Structure formats: C-alpha cells, structure tokens
Amino acid sequence: MKALLLVDIQNGFCPGGNLPVPDGDKVVAVANSLIDSGKYDLIVASQDWHPPGHGSFASAHPGAAPFEIGELSGKPQMMWPDHCIQGTRDAELHPALKSAEIDLIQQKGENPDIDSYSAFRDNDRDASTGLSDFLEDQGVTDLDVCGLATDYCVKFSALDALEMMPGVRVRFIEDASRGITSEGVAAAVSEMRTHGIAIIDSAEVLVG
Ligand code: VGL
Ligand code: ZN
C-alpha cells in the first residue's frame, strides 16, 4: 500500500504568499505528475491552518520581528509572519494542484499555544493529528513525502512518519520539495538521510 504525503503546498508558501518559499510554486507541476502517475493507492495533503493571532506569529508578540527566535509557551519559537490563516486565500492549497485526486486533507497548527510543523503531531511531539493512525488503518507500507518547506514541515513530517509508524518505508522526493533557506535544506536532507529516509527524485517514482 503506497501513499503520497504532499506537505503544505499552499498559496502562503508560494511566491506572492505571506511566507513565501523560494520557487515554492515549482513543486506543483512535479506533485501533479506524481498524483497522475498511478503509483499511489492513497494521496494525502497537509494544510497549515492557523487561527488569527497564532502564537507562532511575530505579530502576536509585542516587539518581536519575523524570522527571529522568540518564545511560545515557555519554549524557543521561530517568529513567523502571519501566514495560512484559516479561511483565507493564503491557507488554500495551490490552485493548480490536482486537489480532486487527494483522498484526505490533514489540517494542523490550529492550537494557538503551540506550533505544528509536522502533519503528524505538534512540536512538543505530544498531540497527534490522527494521521499516523489513519495511514496505519489503511495498511500503508510505503510513504513518500514532499512539498513545502523542506527545512520545516516536510522534514518534521518525514521524521515523524518514520518514528510513529515503525516498519513503514519513508522516502523524501527532493525535486517535489523546496525549502526556506539553502543551508536549512542541506541540513534537513542530511538529517533525513541519517535517520534512514531515502532521498529520491520524482523520476524514480515515475519509472519505478
Ligand atoms: C511551515 C513555517 C511555519 C512549513 C509552516 O509548512 O514548512 N513553516 N509554518
Ligand atoms: Zn505555520
């Protein structure tokens, strides 16, 4: 049972969005080719889905500026620009993504007091979204992960998939992903590889 997890391919993380990832929109065509490949039994997308005033927003902390380290619920937290606010265009999946083929949209990041980079659980590794139970119930044996942003939500989702679903083979599709910084991407890729996640290109899926 092969599944594809498309992480946060939302307007907010694409050029013109509130937290744009360089070339973030370039993942859409690759993701669509994966969706159309017929290689997956199940396709899941995650959606960053914050309430207004979420505690990860710099705007929620007087004196804080975006992209500096602040504090949330007593722990260090990257201060982000307001992004992916529930019900706004910024939070919508990219309009060119073949959303009709997506079996489940897993929202995350609703709790204002904690961030949730991973599609599986919050940053305290505490509250589960239920996605791992869903995938295990579906009998998933292989999970390919890609999307935005490699150095945050993609990395944490892939690592959690490995840890929360022992025995599931996890791969990261590099050309279907983009990150916020190139140093962050390099570190994320090596961390994923170290944990046993295969780093592949979409071509391997399409011919495989
Ligand atoms: C993300 C920062 C804040 C992501 C989400 O999707 O990688 N990054 N919220
Ligand atoms: Zn977010």
Summarised one tens digit per residue, pLDDT across range 12-47 is 999 999 999 999 999 999 999 999 999 999 999 999
**Whole-number pLDDT of residue 202:** 98
Return the ligand number nearest the Cα of 50. Answer: 2
**Residues 89-116: tens digit of each pLDDT:** 999 999 999 999 999 999 999 999 999 9
CA–centroid distance, 25 to ligand 1, in Å, is: 15
Dist. CA 15 → ligand 2 center (Å)? 16
- Residue closest via CA to ligand 1's atom 1 equals 153
Q: What is the DSSP string of 122-150?
A: -TTS-SB-SHHHHHHHTT--EEEEEEE-I
pLDDT at 208: 79
pTM (two decimals): 0.98
Decide: 6 in ligand 1 pocket, CB within 6 A. no
Q: In 3D, which of 81, 205, 207 has the Cα closest to residue 146?
A: 205
Nearest CA-CA partner of 51 in 94, 98, 88, 6: 88
156-181 mean pLDDT: 98
Work out the mean pLDDT of the chain and round it to a whole number: 98
122's CB contacts (< 8 A; 6+ apart) are 108, 111, 114, 115, 116
| b (16+ CB within 10 A) / e for 20-44 | bbeebbbbbebbbebbeeeebebbb
Backbone phi and psi for residue 171, each to the nearest 5 degrees, phi listed first:
-125, 150
Share of the chain above pLDDT 90, in %: 100
Q: Which domains does the chain have, with CATH numbers?
A: 2-49+97-206 (3.40.50.850)
Active site residue 108: yes
* Contact 148 CB / ligand 1 (< 6 Å): yes
Closest residue to atom 6 of ligand 1, CA basis:
153
